[in-house]
């Protein structure tokens, strides 16, 4: 099982994220190095959302990440939520 953390971001996110980007990416790389985070990135055309995919079935891992993410703490994320994702094909699929 995987978890998807969805971010809905503010208008002009790309410009507004700059002061917080290095800390956000550091946090994401640490989560990846621990094996928690699988993939992450912004959705394009338009840049209005981002998706972060986590290993596991416990939403707390993704929720903790969001709660301490500088993008969230500094108001760049208007809304975030976590959904469980039953993966069935591909590397790391759970069925």
User: What sign results for the dihedral spanned by CA atoms 55, 31, 40, 51?
Assistant: positive
The DSSP result for 54-75, as a single string, is: EESS-THHHHHHHHH-HHHHTT
Confidence of residue 94 (pLDDT cuts 50, 70, 90): confident
Q: How does residue 93 score in pLDDT terms, banded at 50, 70 and 90?
A: confident
CATH T-level fold of 2-85 = Alpha-Beta Plaits (3.30.70)
Q: So where are the chain's domains?
A: 2-85
What number is the average pLDDT over the span 36-54?
Answer: 97
Tokens 């959705």 correspond to: 43
Average pLDDT, the chain: 95
Strand pairing report for 2-9 and 49-55: antiparallel
The pTM of the full predicted model, rounded to 2 decimals, is 0.94
């Amino acid at each position: 099982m995987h978890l998807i953390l969805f971010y809905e971001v503010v208008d002009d996110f790309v410009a507004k994220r700059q002061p917080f980007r290095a800390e956000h990416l550091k946090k994401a790389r640490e989560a990846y190095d621990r094996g928690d985070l699988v993939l992450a990135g912004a959705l394009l055309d338009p840049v209005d959302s981002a998706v972060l995919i986590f290993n596991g079935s416990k939403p707390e891992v993704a929720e903790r990440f969001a709660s301490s993410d500088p993008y969230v703490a500094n108001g760049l994320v208007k809304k975030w939520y976590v959904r469980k994702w039953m993966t069935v094909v591909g590397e790391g699929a759970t069925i």
